Amino acid sequence: MVGQHIPRMATVAITSLGCPRNLVDSEIILGSLKKSGFKVVDIAKGADVFIVNTCAFVESARKESVDMILEAAYLKSKGRIKHIVICGCLPQLYKGELLKELPEADAIIGPGDIPRVADIIRGLGKGVRRSAVSDRPTYIYDERSPRLVLTPRHYAYVKISEGCDNLCSYCIIPRLRGRSRSRPMGSVLKEIDGLSAGGRLKEVNIIGQDTTAYGIDLYGKRRLPALLKKICALSNSVRWVRLLYTHPAHYTDEFIKTVRREDKVCKYLDFPVQHISDRILKRMNRRSTKRHITGIIEKLRKCIPGLVLRTSIIVGFPGETDREFRELLDFVRKTRFERLGAFIYSQEEGTAAAAYKNQVPAKIKNERFDEIMKAQQAVSRDLNASLLGKAVDVLIDEKAGGEKARFLGRTQGDAPEVDGLVHVTGKDLKIGGFYKVKITDTLEYDLAGETV
């Protein structure tokens, strides 16, 4: 009887929460379901099965995930959907507790159990609840994995590794995703070739929990530079290869030279420093020092003309003094990162930092966050203003609503979803096309211009 409860042509819908790494998992889930005979639909139309692929990285992400599950429960109570399946990090974090706490859910599936998703869903039925959550995730997809890409056709994310060995004291990723494991180079190259078939793929975004650690488990040393060279040597339609989620402790001269020399590699680096105080960096277990970080930044800007640096920082880490925060604030003002994301420290159960003394009060954390963001807004306004009157290459992502000749695009210095946009005026522009755009106006984070 089990396996016959849900018919082969049942409809499924999905919502993907969190980062691009989770989005790739959602694409693999949908690809495997489609291959198994399920029909993928938009949740607005209702579905037999609604999948919530959750994020549990910090408290705010968990709250968003639970809110979405409760919204799904409402749809289920109204008969719009029949079954709710919770996937991803939330099941991995809470395992058996989740089905008890959320009686509306019919199944939970961890990130290490994606290959089982079709069998789990097909086995659901009235009164049947199922769980598939491995204690230690080891799964990582490859080029043979069915995948239904959810991004626009001109860009895609390619995950080159899964899991993490860095053990930052504030982070639960190793608990959620397991130890670091890399995909073989051949697998990554075949996947990119497959995604670019047809000539519509223009941008590949390389992702992982720590992309600069790529290859150490397979080849005995870090092989990201070699992988980048091979990706750039592929004969396909891709013009931009963007690298995300690097770790400052793992930068090498070979890596920096590769980014500089390879024309397809975007002169854009995601370089999360998290803090600049040596004492805080040590407590974070970041394996970097202020001297190392500032030295790498100086070398990067000297060696790579036109480089755009994105960083992320954490304010309110346990024990962060006012003096150490001022040191961080001064560093942000002086370094003038082109892109910056700030996060308020979240006390995550099971991490080393959660047990640290001198947790910073929420009021002070919020004040520090506001101060950092005000400083970065001033930096961003100045940097954007320096582009007035200049012509830049822009990749068109979508048509802007309302006006016929208005489009939204990005420069090489802007990653999808997280960075700024260019509001482009031009006639008959193609989605996924590259255009020269003269910047005519600047906003706090965005640019505006017209094609030339």
Per residue in 25-35, pLDDT tens? 999 999 999 99
Give residue 1's pLDDT: 33
Helix axes 224-233, 253-261, angle to 10 degrees: 20
Q: Which residues pair with 438 in a beta bridge?
A: 391, 450
Report pLDDT digits (tens) over 278-325.
999 999 999 999 999 999 999 999 999 999 999 999 999 999 999 999
| 44-59 pLDDT per residue, tens | 888 999 999 999 999 9
Sign of CA dihedral 104, 108, 111, 113: negative
Smallest Cα–Cα separation from 43: which of 71, 15, 74? 15
Pairing of strands 434-442, 447-451: antiparallel
CA distances from 90 to 35, 223, 354 (A): 26, 32, 19
pLDDT at 5: 64
Q: Convert the pLDDT of each residue in 76-91 to its tens digit.
A: 999 999 999 999 999 9
Rounded to the nearest integer, the mean pLDDT of the chain is 94
Q: Where are the domains of the chain?
A: 11-132, 391-451
In the chain, the percentage of residues whose pLDDT exceeds 70 is 98
**Residue 196, pLDDT score:** 95
How does pLDDT run across 151-196, given as a tens digit for each residue? 999 999 999 999 999 999 999 999 999 999 999 999 999 999 999 9
Q: How far apart are the first and last CA of the chain?
A: 65
Token pair for residue 66? 């639970």
Residue 9's pLDDT is 74
Residue 125, pLDDT score: 81
DSSP string, 104-173: T--EEE-GGGGGGHHHHHHT--TT--EEE--SS------TTS-----S-TTEEEEE-EES-----TT--H
Instruction: Report in angstroms the alpha-carbon separations of 244 from 74, 274, 314.
Output: 37, 15, 18
Q: One-letter amino acid identity for 2?
A: V
pLDDT of residue 450: 96
**What's the pLDDT band for 3 if we cut at 50, 70, 90?**
very low
Beta-carbon neighbour count of residue 298 at 10 Å? Answer: 11
CATH fold of the domain at 391-451:
OB fold (Dihydrolipoamide Acetyltransferase, E2P) (2.40.50)
**Least confidently predicted of 353-367, 390-404, 418-432:** 390-404
Q: What fold characterizes domain 11-132? A: Rossmann fold (3.40.50)
| CA pair distance 312, 188, nearest whole angstrom | 27
Residue 7 confidence (pLDDT): 66
Q: Which of 67-71, 86-90, 401-405 has the lowest mean pLDDT?
A: 401-405
pLDDT at 2 over 70: no
pLDDT confidence of residue 443: 87
